[in-house]
Amino acid sequence: MAVPETRPNHTIYINNLNEKIKKDELKKSLYAIFSQFGQILDILVSRSLKMRGQAFVIFKERIQYAKTDSDIIAKMKGTFVERDRKREKRKPKSQETPAAKKAVQGGAAAPVVGAVPGPVPGMPPMTQAPRIMHHMPGQPPYMPPPGMIPPPGLAPGQIPPGAMPPQQLMPGQMPPAQPLSENPPNHILFLTNLPEETNELMLSMLFNQFPGFKEVRLVPGRHDIAFVEFDNEVQAGAARDALQGFKITQNNAMKISFAKK
């Protein structure tokens, strides 16, 4: 017989906590981690033998950590709005081009002038693909790289077949951001942008859910950085990808990178 699922409510239950941590320190760490999901009214932690390693976090509003009500809850509250399932997003008939109509009637996809082709498996999106343009007025002519002799038969400023002119920026357009240099994979992670109240317990609670976790090392005199060690690089990478940008507080999104070897 399947165990019925507990309905969403104001309280969440947490277990598998370190039983050796002091009660006040544990409550402080739980508050720092879960306060981003809504206003917390109370955190219940018991030191009794039966309740060790467990805690309850009570929120003021359930809706603060459930983004939307289900249809059943909305009907109970009287806020349910019937959705029109028959409505489909399609172009009005007056806006359909003759070529598009011909393609639908013929059953085969005919190319439409001016249409943007869909993504092709294995190919980058059109927004990322380099733009190949003919020389247009107002753009500087194509110039070969220094030391390169222009192909014979081409006039100065003429673009050779298949060549791409330098991409021009429109007024007010920012140049594309250069990718940040990434350290090679390492079994040790480097954490930055940590809040002032960060402690070893708080970070251990976040990272010990991942296989291979070994320890957290804080830097004396620096509350904003820390190191987390795993058994191998693969396990460290999985934890980095899962917790990248995790907000320990509302104003501190944790930044995680591989530590320098």
Find out whether 135 and 165 touch, Cβ atoms under 8 Å.
Answer: yes
- Order of strands, edge to edge, in the sheet holding 255-258? 213-219, 222-230, 188-192, 255-258
Q: How far apart are CA 135 and CA 140, in angstroms?
A: 8
Q: Which residues pair with 234 in a beta bridge?
A: none
- Domain 9-77 identical in fold to domain 188-258: yes
Q: What percent of the chain has pLDDT over 90?
A: 17
Find out whether 59 and 39 touch, Cβ atoms under 8 Å.
Answer: yes
Q: How far apart are CA 218 and CA 216, in angstroms?
A: 7
Arithmetic mean of pLDDT, 99-103? 52
Lowest mean pLDDT among 50-64, 90-104, 202-216: 90-104
How high is the mean pLDDT of the chain? Answer: 69
For the chain, which residues make up each domain, given as ranges? Answer: 9-77, 188-258
Q: What percent of the chain has pLDDT over 70?
A: 50
Arithmetic mean of pLDDT, 158-183? 54
In this predicted structure, the answer to whether residue 64 has a pLDDT above a threshold of 50 is no
Q: How far apart are CA 180 and CA 177, in angstroms?
A: 9
Q: Comparing 4 with 223, which gets the higher pLDDT?
A: 223
Q: How far apart are CA 239 and CA 48, in angstroms?
A: 33
Q: Which fold has domain 188-258?
A: Alpha-Beta Plaits (3.30.70)
In this predicted structure, the answer to whether residue 195 has a pLDDT above a threshold of 60 is yes
159 Cβ contact list (under 8 Å, min separation 6) = 134, 135, 142, 165
9-77: in CATH 3.40.190.10: no
In this predicted structure, the answer to whether residue 186 has a pLDDT above a threshold of 90 is yes
Taking the model in full, what pTM does it have? 0.42
Using pLDDT thresholds of 50, 70 and 90, give the confidence band for residue 89. very low
